[in-house]
Amino acid sequence: MESSYLAASRSGLLDRQINKSLRLLEKCSLCPRRCNVDRLAGKIGLCRTGACAEVASYGPHFGEEAVLVGSHGSGTIFFCGCSLLCAFCQNYDISHPEEHSCLPVDDRQLAQVMVELQEQGCHNINLVTPSHVIPQILEALPSAIERGLTVPLVYNSSGYDDVASLHLLDGIVDIYMPDFKFWSTDSANRYAKASDYPATARMALREMQRQVGDLQINARGCAERGLLVRHLLMPGGFAETDAILHFLAKKISVNCYVNIMDQYRPCGRADEFAELGAGITAEEYWQAVQRAEKYGLTRIDRPDYSHLLRHLLDT
């Protein structure tokens, strides 16, 4: 299956979306925060990112879902900054970066990173926390295509995505991989100061599903196109998990590919919240899986560490 951005490049859609997206940076409204700062002039809002995307690290990742990892890894690019800024973020030092702790990249440098990951054999380009750098990603694609990029693009976000910004990616992104973190406005406000997160995520996931549909997996077991939803289990959060799984089954698709993640651990500022001090038990994880199956969700990602183990043994 040809990656969507290649057809978008030939049709002129990619160029049009680049121009539209760059104009949004003049009074930034890319994410639901709508800071309205002129990022092209170097001003920064809540995401702490100006005119250039900033990269914390990149490389083949073997700890992602098996349908992304394949045999040679998912080509992850970890962008600095974030528009959601959860207090318990497991990548807190990246999402809440100190000044000058990340590497600013222009469009050609970002393109080179993408192509380098493909040349290492990665099955996709996995854009981690991309919501605040959509224009920079789009602007890098023509140069990346010119250098031979062909693998699918994965948009790996918090789910706190503005639908208007997602429209910029229609026909360009191949795989959407949002998290759906909170169902309760109280939780979203308490841990991320984003009481609009639940409603925003519901609209975003509907738009993502409209654009790419259910996840399609090729004969080699690698995802090529579609929606994959992650949900991080939280201490004492079963009621919210239940509501999110019900929403996915009833409002997105009963064929939605879901990763119920049990790897929560106290990170970042989690120690400021007494209720976030515990981890997730095996019983809690299986209770969530059983509830998903009750709602008819059968495409549940199962942890498979064989790829990661093989990679570690080979290095």
CATH of the domain at 307: 3.20.20.70
Domain that holds residue 108: 4-314
* Residue 267 confidence (pLDDT): 95
CA atoms 30, 36, 37, 41: torsion sign: positive
**What would the two tokens of residue 127 be?**
């854009």
Give the pLDDT score at 101: 73
pLDDT > 70 in the chain, percent: 96
43-89 confidence digits (pLDDT tens):
999 999 999 999 999 999 999 999 999 999 999 999 999 999 999 99
Chain centre to alpha carbon of residue 181: 12
Q: How confident is the model at residue 306 (pLDDT cuts 50, 70, 90)?
A: low
At 302, the pLDDT band (50, 70, 90 cuts) reads: confident
Q: Which of 32, 242, 30 is nearest to 133 (CA)?
A: 30
Taking 60 as the threshold, does the pLDDT of residue 245 lie above it? yes
Nearest Cα residue to 301 out of 212, 232, 220, 236 = 232
Q: What mean pLDDT value characterizes the chain?
A: 95
pLDDT for the residue 312? 47
Q: Report the pLDDT value the prediction gives residue 98, as an integer from 0 to 100.
A: 74
Residue, of 66 and 315, whose pLDDT is higher: 66
Give the span between the Cα atoms of 53 and 130, in whole angstroms: 9
Least confident piece of the model among 46-50, 169-173, 202-206, 245-249: 46-50
Comparing 17-26, 95-104, 240-249, 281-290, which segment has the lowest mean pLDDT?
Answer: 95-104
Check residue 97 and give its pLDDT: 81
Closest CA to 55 of 2, 111, 138, 123: 111
Q: Say if residues 30 and 24 touch (Cβ distance below 8 Å).
A: yes
Q: Give the H/E segment covering residue 314.
A: helix 306-314
E-strand stretches of the chain: 53-61, 74-79, 103-105, 125-128, 153-157, 175-178, 216-217, 223-232, 257-261
Give the pLDDT band of residue 170 (cuts 50, 70, 90).
very high
For the stretch 103-142, pLDDT in tens is 999 999 999 999 999 999 999 999 999 999 999 999 999 9
Q: How far apart are CA 101 and CA 114, in angstroms?
A: 21
Q: How far apart are the first and last CA of the chain?
A: 31
Provide the number of structural domains found in the chain: 1
Predicted local confidence at residue 311, as pLDDT: 47
Instruction: Tell which wins on pLDDT, 170 or 98.
Output: 170
Among 15-29, 173-187, 238-252, 300-314, the minimum mean pLDDT is found in: 300-314
pLDDT exceeds cutoff 50 at 150: yes
